[in-house]
Structure 1
Amino acid sequence: MGTRPNWFAGTFAVGWLFVILLPVYLMLRASFESQSAYTRNGPLAPPTEFVLDNFIASFEMGFGRYLLNAGIITVGTVAIVLVLVPPLAFAIVRSRNRGVSAAFRLLLVGLAIPAQVVVIPLYYLIDSLGLYDSLLGVILPTAAFVIPLTTLILCGSMREISGELYEAMAIDGATPLRSFFSMVLPLAKGGIATVVVYTALNAWNGFLLPLILTRSPEVTVATVGLSQFRQQFSVNIPGLLSAVVLTIIPIFIVYLFARRALIAGLMGVGGK
């Protein structure tokens, strides 16, 4: 017996898809159109031309450097998180030591502390370390703020690995270190992908820390650069939207490569 189609749900889904895709279409259409054509035709008219002048102008004004700085911060933050969080989560999941449990609970306190609350002492700390107005001075606190939640995510992924698998590895003579690299990391790839995408999003889209901890144009990142472009391109909407498109493309590529493992991690299967 066939199922009855749900026309209401289908209509709602199509309408919601239209709501989501319309801003994307308007942004892409405007970014590939000249300012004169955009002003003449309006934002809702069909595209009449396809030019790259807006993107060329963005790079000529230094936006390529801003993207590079944002990329360096993102890669550096993800690297720190990938080095620290997986072994930290493994120790929390497998250790029965009370000190480790207490340290984990203390780490979770970081979830309740937003960056806005500690930005002033953080500024003085970074300045006293001689890292002010440097990319490293942004990378370190950015990684510190994402470590609590990423550790929690990866702990949930590693807890779903069956205890029998650990026992089988131990019977085969595997050390905890070998079990970690040979079994835990492959089975927790969904959680790791979730951690990578979450960390990359936070690092790439970060605004407050780069704004407070940097000053010179040489270390300005894309989000801060967009704020400056908004003032310069206040009447040139296509020029501003072309810069927005440039900031979206890199993180969209990250999602495309990690989407399968990311979906598996969000479904709670831990990549198994």
Structure 2
Amino acid sequence: MRTRANWPAGVLAGAWLLIILVPVYVMLRAAFESRETYADKGPLGLPTEFTLDNFRYAFEQGFGRFLANSVTVAVLTVAVVLILVPPLAFAIVRSDSRTVRQAFKVMLFGLAIPAQVVVIPVMYLIQYIGLYDTLIGIALPTAAFAIPMSTLILTGAMREIRGELYEAMAMDGSGPVRTFFRLVLPLSRGGIATVIVFTALNAWNNYLLPLVLTRSEDVRVATLGLGVFQQQYSLNIPGLMSAILMTVLPMLLIYLFARRALIRGLMGVGGK
């Protein structure tokens, strides 16, 4: 049977796409143009030149160090989550204990607590353990806030693994540790990829925790560096746009390489 085209939906989708693409075009065009050309043509003009001077200028202002700090925080956060969440999710899925189920529910209560509510107590805790104004001091709270959602995602992926596979591993003489590494982790790639992307995005885009938990320029991340860049050089729009582009590009590349596994994990079929 032939289906009739939904023209209103197509028009609305096209309009929404246009709304999204216009700022992206403004950012890309300004990032590769000089200040003089941008001032003459305006934000919506056609591109007339190509230059990398804006990126060189951003690195001269220390933005390369800010990006390196963001990468370090993101890697540390993902590492902490990957060490803790897969064994935790495996224990939740395979345990029949009522205590484990209740503990899981209590942990998920963390999803209802925004970081803004507890950021001051977190700051005092980080100061008490001597990690204030360090990259580790940013990564640990960021990982803590990512653990509840990551556990929820990964338990959904692990529940898709059929019970017959666990029985086959048990008949083969495999214990819980071997079953975890030989069966569960390989079949949970979709969920793990989702957790990695979700955690990395949260760590990379985090602004509040780095703002409160750091004060020196040496440990400033890209989101804070972008704000300072805008305050100090607000008239240099092309330079600011080049810094924004460098901030957006790493997470975009991660999404492009992991999008298939990410979609599978979000749809709850990571274990198949």
**After the TM superposition, which residues 23-34 of structure 1 pair with which residues of structure 2 at under 5 Å, given as runs?**
23-34=23-34
Counterpart CA distance in 2 for 1:256 and 1:10 is: 25
Amino acid at match of 1:211: L
Amino acid at match of 2:224: V
Residue pair 1:264, 1:271 contacting (<8 A) in 2 also: no
| Superposed CA offset, 1:179-228 (max 9, x none) | 11111112111111111111000000111111111111100000001110
| Superposed CA offset, 1:27-61 (max 9, x none) | 10011111111111111110011111111000000
Counterpart CA distance in 1 for 2:18 and 2:236 is: 26
Q: Give the alignment's TM-score, normalised by structure 2.
A: 0.96
The DSSP-based 3-state class of the residue aligned with 2:131 is: coil
Structure 2 alignment gaps of length 5 or more? none
Counterpart CA distance in 1 for 2:125 and 2:15 is: 50
Counterpart CA distance in 2 for 1:148 and 1:5 is: 42
Match of 2:119 in 1: 119
Match of 1:88 in 2: 88
Counterpart CA distance in 2 for 1:242 and 1:170 is: 55
Q: Give the alignment's TM-score, normalised by structure 1.
A: 0.96
**After the TM superposition, which residues 38-77 of structure 1 pair with which residues of structure 2 at under 5 Å, given as runs?**
38-77=38-77
The DSSP-based 3-state class of the residue aligned with 1:270 is: coil
Give the superposition deviation at 1:96: 1.1
**After the TM superposition, which residues 217-228 of structure 1 pair with which residues of structure 2 at under 5 Å, given as runs?**
217-228=217-228
Residue 185 (structure 2) pairs with residue 185 (structure 1): yes
**After the TM superposition, which residues 139-154 of structure 1 pair with which residues of structure 2 at under 5 Å, given as runs?**
139-154=139-154
Counterpart CA distance in 2 for 1:262 and 1:202 is: 15
Amino acid at match of 2:257: F
Counterpart CA distance in 2 for 1:11 and 1:103 is: 48
Segment of structure 1 superposing worse, 229-238 or 132-141: 229-238
Counterpart CA distance in 2 for 1:93 and 1:262 is: 21
Residue pair 2:161, 2:271 contacting (<8 A) in 1 also: no
Amino acid at match of 2:175: T
Counterpart CA distance in 1 for 2:232 and 2:82 is: 38
- What count of residue pairs does the alignment treat as equivalent? 272
Residue pair 1:261, 1:271 contacting (<8 A) in 2 also: no
| Superposed CA offset, 1:86-110 (max 9, x none) | 0100000101122222221221121
Counterpart CA distance in 1 for 2:8 and 2:121 is: 53
Match of 1:233 in 2: 233
Amino acid at match of 1:173: G
The DSSP-based 3-state class of the residue aligned with 1:268 is: coil
Counterpart CA distance in 2 for 1:126 and 1:12 is: 48
Match of 1:243 in 2: 243
Give the superposition deviation at 1:12: 3.2
Counterpart CA distance in 1 for 2:10 and 2:112 is: 39
Match of 2:108 in 1: 108
Amino acid at match of 1:129: I
Segment of structure 1 superposing worse, 252-261 or 3-12: 3-12
Match of 1:268 in 2: 268
Q: Percent identity?
A: 66
Give the superposition deviation at 1:126: 0.7
Amino acid at match of 2:222: A
Residue pair 2:66, 2:219 contacting (<8 A) in 1 also: yes
Give the superposition deviation at 1:7: 3.4
Match of 2:259 in 1: 259
Counterpart CA distance in 1 for 2:109 and 2:5 is: 48
Residue pair 2:205, 2:223 contacting (<8 A) in 1 also: yes
Give the superposition deviation at 1:2: 4.2
